[in-house]
Amino acid sequence: MSSEAITQRRLRARAMPEVPDAAAALIVRFLDLVWAELGLSPQTLASYRRDLEGFARWLGLGTALTGVDRKRLFDYLAWRNEQGYSPRSNARLMSSLRAFYAQLLRQGQMTQDPTALMESPRQGRRLPRTLTESQVEALLAAPDVSTVLGMRDRAMLEAMYGAGLRVSELVGLELGEINLRQGVLRVTGKGGKSRVVPIGEEAQHWLEHYLAQARPVLAGKQVRAPLFLSQRGAPMSRQLFWHGIKRLARVAGIEPDKVTPHGLRHAFATHLLNHGADLRALQLLLGHSSLSTTQIYTEVAKERLQRLHQHHHPRG
């Protein structure tokens, strides 16, 4: 949604009437009850309040919250769609309304649940952000490999992109889990599941240089099991790696907001598919327990092909 549309929606929301007193009292009582019974977080309670107060404002004085039927809810959802609310936002609203009306039923303030048999709006799968091949090349070339830390960063980036690792898998690698002679890593993924993944020649090259020239300097005289070490010789953390990625993105001329913690993993998967990789082989490389998780990358590749078609085809 454009910024102009968001601004217009906020202006319309401000123009709506205040929450009627009777509705406000019901909402406050509901929030007190679910907080006491379920110990919900302040963020969840605030979401419930926003959703319920928004619905009460839309109803106005003409209809009480306890007098709502299913048709009225459908009308409200239709109105929200016209205002540009996302399926994710509407799904959260339905969750709030279900909890609210379930509480009113338990208290005997209503005899029927207006949310019964209503399905939550279908949410499109959120596609992972990924980088183009040229952006990946620029990011990989960004570290200053004449320095110890630059060589470490280059080795980490190459390993992540070359093997499609999660950030936690990357920083959790230990010396005994790398076999450069065979060009493979033994990775411990989610749920403690291990897998052996190959690495490319470039990743192998930079890991060899890192182990020979940079890691001994970072480790000093201490014997350390982690493969990647910080400037102080401690194990690398996700946060430290993430801050480094943001800095290197600027060096590479990439907007930092476009680079996510798993950006190179997503790029690894998407680029393999673009070059004809088999989906089940990709599933094994990524360590996904379900093929449906891997299939989201086919959507990323398809979306890119559609953009290319629209841009280059004379009838696109």
Question: For residue range 111-131, what is the model confidence (pLDDT) as tens digits?
Answer: 888 888 787 666 555 556 778
Higher pLDDT, 233 or 287: 233
Both tokens assigned to 303: 């979306």
Give the type of residue at 305: L
Confidence of residue 230 (pLDDT cuts 50, 70, 90): very high
Residues with Cβ within 8 Å of residue 10, at least 6 apart in sequence: none
Which range among 63-72, 132-141, 190-199 has the greatest average pLDDT? 132-141
In the predicted structure, residue 144 carries a pLDDT above the cut 70? yes
Confidence of residue 146 (pLDDT cuts 50, 70, 90): very high
Mode of pairing for the β-strands spanning 184-188 and 194-198: antiparallel
- What pLDDT is recorded for position 54? 92
Domains recognised in the chain with CATH numbers: 3-106 (1.10.150), 133-312 (1.10.443.10)
Q: Is the distance from CB of 64 to CB of 23 less than 8 angstroms?
A: yes
Task: Establish how many alpha carbons lie within 13 A of residue 117's alpha carbon, considering only the half-sphere containing its beta carbon.
Answer: 5
User: Rounded CA gap, 267 and 314, in Å?
Assistant: 29
Where in the sequence numbering do the catalytic residues fall?
166, 190, 262, 265, 288, 297
